[in-house]
Chains A and B, each alone.
Chain A
Amino acid sequence: MTEKLNLSGPADLLATIAHLLGRTPTESFVILTAQGGALGATVRVDAPAHIEPMNYAQTLTSYATNDEEATASYVVVYSDEDLDNYAYAAHVAALVNELATARMPVRNVWLVTSTHWADFGTDDHNSLDEIRDSNANATLVYNGSAQDVDVYNPALLGTWALSVQAPAGSEEDRAAACTAWAAALDSTETPDTQTMRELAGAFQHKMIRDYLFCETINTQNGNFADVMLGKFNGRPDWERVDRAEALAFELMKAVPSGQRAPMLTLMGWLEWLKGRGTQADRYLKLAASDVEDFRLAVLLRELIGRGYIADVARDSTTSYRRRII
């Protein structure tokens, strides 16, 4: 479908957010950037816990300025926190000021709770049905947009599998693992059980694992720092990335718990490259629980928890795109 989505009011715009982000946020601040009558970036961040309003506002504005074309913005607060006292009012005021200073003045601020939505700072109680029944939601659902479905489904993992052996880590081991991983990513077939177990074994060796991470992205320049940060030569083949996540989950089925952390970490890193910090954090947390304090998962989780955005996700021309219309 090539026609544009017409957003004729707040309910339409609020309905669109869940489709852009893949799920409806909770306890979050969302900024939508705009240029004229077109939307740009959608940025979601956790609602502030103990962050001073000005610091919070400056941090969020720095994220929004990734859209260099933006000339305006919208702010949406998703929260059920202390509604009688307009929780986050100071943070919203600071954010409105900062976004204006950044030359993307805020057109509207809305509050969305689990029971209603309203213009922020008012006592309105508009029904959430208005969002669900909006033209935008109907159009997006009709065109196939839906909430994200997790690749990771613990019910499908099974309860028993033989452990795999990590290779010794020679240059030949690394080359063989990279070749097998690339072949699996380039194929539309699911690898046989033996190949799955060999690949799952290769992921257990941390040096080979890192090379397999790099091999997943075929627009990278070979520099480990650049690859890990999502600084690539061009737009990644995102279908290959999606396939890598699906394959990682298949590899998890081939091994017992205690050997699934490397694949979960890959999935978390790939979600982060896609700009999905929340989902990345979830996978990395699972990795660090599958193998206690799994080092790469712990480090990436801490980095993501400090608001670090992958370079590839900052740029509209290279970023992952959910197909919503």
Chain B
Amino acid sequence: MATGYIRTEADQPAPDTSPAEEVAELLLLTAGEPTGPVNISWEQEPGNI
């Protein structure tokens, strides 16, 4: 299902906001506390431990 958002009157984007900027702005409205960037990788060929 595609991601959809509804803006309230209080958080309308600036007129020159690009689509990508608008998406990032909307996500930040509900983003968590600053924790620093996360790196995630997946084992390509699972090793035997």
Q: Which residue of B lies closest to A224 (CB)?
A: B19
Chain B proximity of A24: nearest CB distance (Å)? 12
Query: Among B27, B31, B36, B48, which residue has the most Cβ atoms of chain A within 10 A?
Result: B36
Q: Which residue of B lies closest to A32 (CB)?
A: B43
Query: Among B22, B26, B44, B47, which residue has the most Cβ atoms of chain A within 10 A?
Result: B47
Could you tell me which residues of chain A, from 264 to 292, have a CB within 8 Å of some CB in chain B? 275-278, 280-281
Q: Which residue of A lies closest to B14 (CB)?
A: A295
Given A277-B39, A306-B32, decide whether A228 and B20 contact each other with a Cβ distance below 8 A.
Answer: yes
Cross-chain contact A275 with B39 (CB below 8 angstroms): yes
Chain B residues with CB under 8 Å of A260's CB are: none
Cross-chain contact B35 with A39 (CB below 8 angstroms): no
Cross-chain contact B38 with A277 (CB below 8 angstroms): yes
What is the interface residue range for chain A against chain B? Answer: 35 or more
Task: Select the stretch in A194-202, A206-214, A246-254 that faces chain B.
Answer: A206-214
What is the interface residue range for chain B against chain A? Answer: 35 or more
Chain A residues with CB under 8 Å of B43's CB are: 20, 38-42
Chain A residues with CB under 8 Å of B45's CB are: 2, 4-5, 324-325
Please report B residues at the A interface, Cβ cutoff 8 Å: 2-5, 16-28, 31-49
Show 13 residue pairs from A and B whose CB-CB distance is below 8 angstroms, ordered by the A residue.
Answer: A4-B48, A16-B47, A21-B41, A37-B48, A38-B48, A41-B42, A206-B18, A225-B2, A303-B27, A303-B28, A306-B35, A307-B37, A323-B44
Please report A residues at the B interface, Cβ cutoff 8 Å: 2, 4-7, 13, 16, 20-22, 25, 34, 37-46, 51, 55-56, 59, 63, 66, 136, 206-207, 209-210, 213, 221, 223-226, 228-229, 231, 275-278, 280-281, 295-296, 299-300, 302-309, 313-314, 316, 319-325
Chain A proximity of B13: nearest CB distance (Å)? 11
Chain A proximity of B12: nearest CB distance (Å)? 16
Chain B proximity of A302: nearest CB distance (Å)? 6
Chain B residues with CB under 8 Å of A6's CB are: 47-48
Give CA–CA (A21, B26) in the complex, Å.
30
Query: Among B16, B28, B39, which residue has the most Cβ atoms of chain A within 10 A?
Result: B39
Given A16-B47, A41-B40, A66-B40, decide whether A296 and B24 contact each other with a Cβ distance below 8 A.
Answer: yes
Given A224-B19, A231-B3, decide whether A39 and B24 contact each other with a Cβ distance below 8 A.
Answer: no
Chain A residues with CB under 8 Å of B42's CB are: 40-42, 316, 319, 321
Cross-chain contact A304 with B37 (CB below 8 angstroms): yes
Cross-chain contact B37 with A41 (CB below 8 angstroms): no
